[in-house]
Each structure stands twice: as structure tokens, then as C-alpha cells.
Structure 1
Amino acid sequence: MSSIFTKIINREIPGHIVAEDDNYIAFLDIQPLVHGHLLVVPKEEVDYIFDLDDETYSGLMLFAKKVAEGLKKAVECKRIGVAVIGLEVPHVHVHLVPMNSMGDINFSRPKLEPSNDELAEMAEKIKNEL
């Protein structure tokens, strides 16, 4: 069965996509820690990041770096935090989280619930910086 991320990649379900190439995609987390929280995902469905081949792993990180640069321009923050947890969806994903304090990347805190319009507006803002 396809992961929810594969369904977004295949456009079977909607996603607020901010960047994409042949191998990777970046989209907004619909339950973000902070506004602008993105997920960067290889299009190949692999469960565990260290099971990626070296080329895909390196490409994922370079793609995430490019997206993080645009995200930092779009969302006022001190830096972009990076987390790879990988337990909630069985498809490799890198979290990019705008941070002003360590608490901004605390995954145990309550998530935000932005509206679809708020997500669309944020996605457009980030896209314009990439």
C-alpha cells in the first residue's frame, strides 16, 4: 500500500507543494510545529533514511538545503531546524522547521491546525523565494 506521501507525489490526494524535481518533493506539513514547517521527501518510497542508496541520500540533503534557503527567506526565523524521525509515516522524510527557539522543534508539543487557505498562502510565499 502506498504511503500518504506517495499519494501526494502521485497527486492522488492534495498537498501544498513548494518545490519538486524528478527525484524529490517538498510540501507543507498539514499539522506543523510552526508556520512554514515543511517535509522534504524522496519520490522513491523507502521507509528508513539509512536504507537509501548514497546518491539518493546525498541528493535528498542537497534538495533539502535548497528548500531551506528559500524557507528562511519566506519565514522570519533565526535558522531552519532539521529533523529526521521517521516513525509516523513509513516513507523517508526530512522535517524543515523555522526556529527562533529550541521549543520550535519540540515534536511532543501540540501541533498547529492551519486552514487550507493559510497553508496555500504559506506555500505560495515559500515558492516565491525559491
Structure 2
Amino acid sequence: MASVFSKIIAGELPGRFVYRDETVAAFLTIEPVAYGHTLVVPVEEVDRWTDLDPALWAHLNEVAQHVGAAIVDRFDCPRAGYLIAGFEVPHTHIHVFPAADMSGYNLANALGMAETDPAQMDAAAAAIRAGLKARGVDPAE
């Protein structure tokens, strides 16, 4: 059965994409610890990151690094958080989010879907795409 991320990548469910190429997609999570909280996901549905092909793992992290830099630039935060949890969806994903302290590393602190403002979510996605473009990364690759 396809994961929720596979359904988002396939366009069966809506997603606020900030980056996409043939092997990696990055989109905002629906339950962010902060606006701009992005999931960097391989297109291939692999549950554990330790099972990814090393070249795909490297590319996934390259995209996460670009997204993190765009987040720092556009959200005026001291750092971009990086977290791999993976228990909530059986599809490898890296959480990248604006971080000013350790609270973002606790996903229990995330806003619920009903608490998020769609306009702020759209603005966050647009800001990250603009930040990627400013870094010379085409978010629509």
C-alpha cells in the first residue's frame, strides 16, 4: 500500500512542494513545529533511511542542506533543524525546520492541522522556493 508521502508525490493528495526532481521531493508538513517545516523525501518508497542507496541518501541530504539554508535565509532563524524520526509514516523523510532552540526537535510541539493558517503555509512555501532560487537551485527540477 502506498504511503501518504507517495500519494502526495503522485498528486493523489495535495502538497505544498518547495522542491522536486526525479528522485527527491520536498514539501511542507501539515503539522509543522514552525512555519516552513519541510519534509525532504525520496520519491522511491523506502521505509528506513539506512536502506537507501548511498547515492540517493547523499542527494536527499544535499536537497535537505539547500532547503535548510533557504529556511535560515528566509525565516531569520539562527539554525535549520534536521531530524529523522520515521515512525509516523513508513517512508524515509528528513524534517528540516526553522530552529531557535531545541523545542522543534520534539514533534509533540507541532501545530495541528486545524491550528495552521493556510495563508502562512502558502507564504512559507513561497519563501523557501524563493530562497532556493536565490541559491541557484531550481525548485521545479
The TM-score with structure 1 as length reference comes to: 0.94
Which structure has the highest helix share of the two? 2
Displacement after TM superposition at 1:101 (Å): 1.0
Cα distance in 1 for partners of 2:44, 2:57 equals: 11
Identical-residue share of aligned pairs (%) = 38
Displacement after TM superposition at 1:129 (Å): 1.0
Aligned residues of 1:97 and 1:105 also touching (Cα < 8 A): no
Say if 1:110 and 1:36 are closer, same or farther in 2 by CA, change over 3 A: closer
Displacement after TM superposition at 1:20 (Å): 1.0
Identify the residue that residue 118 of structure 1 maps to in structure 2: 120
Cα distance in 2 for partners of 1:121, 1:12 equals: 23
Aligned residues of 2:83 and 2:96 also touching (Cα < 8 A): yes
How large is the Cα RMSD of the aligned pairs?
1.2
Aligned residues of 2:83 and 2:94 also touching (Cα < 8 A): yes
Displacement after TM superposition at 1:110 (Å): 4.7
Cα distance in 1 for partners of 2:110, 2:120 equals: 18
**Bigger mean CA deviation after superposition, 38-47 or 101-110:** 101-110
Identify the residue that residue 81 of structure 2 maps to in structure 1: 81
**Bigger mean CA deviation after superposition, 37-46 or 51-60:** 51-60
Displacement after TM superposition at 1:34 (Å): 1.1
The C-alpha deviation readout for 1:22-41, integer Å capped at 9, x for no partner, is 11011111110111111000
Displacement after TM superposition at 1:105 (Å): 2.2
Aligned residues of 1:18 and 1:26 also touching (Cα < 8 A): yes
For these two proteins, the number of residue pairs brought into alignment is 130
Cα distance in 2 for partners of 1:3, 1:30 equals: 15
SS of alignment partner, residue 19 of structure 2: strand
Cα distance in 2 for partners of 1:70, 1:110 equals: 21
Which consecutive residues of structure 2, in runs of 5 or more, have no partner in the other structure? 133-141
The TM-score with structure 2 as length reference comes to: 0.87
Identify the residue that residue 106 of structure 2 maps to in structure 1: 106
Cα distance in 2 for partners of 1:110, 1:98 equals: 12
**Bigger mean CA deviation after superposition, 111-120 or 52-61:** 111-120
The C-alpha deviation readout for 1:88-116, integer Å capped at 9, x for no partner, is 00100000021111113222325252122
Which runs of at least 4 in structure 1 moved beyond 4 Å after TM superposition?
none
Identify the residue that residue 31 of structure 1 maps to in structure 2: 31
SS of alignment partner, residue 129 of structure 1: helix
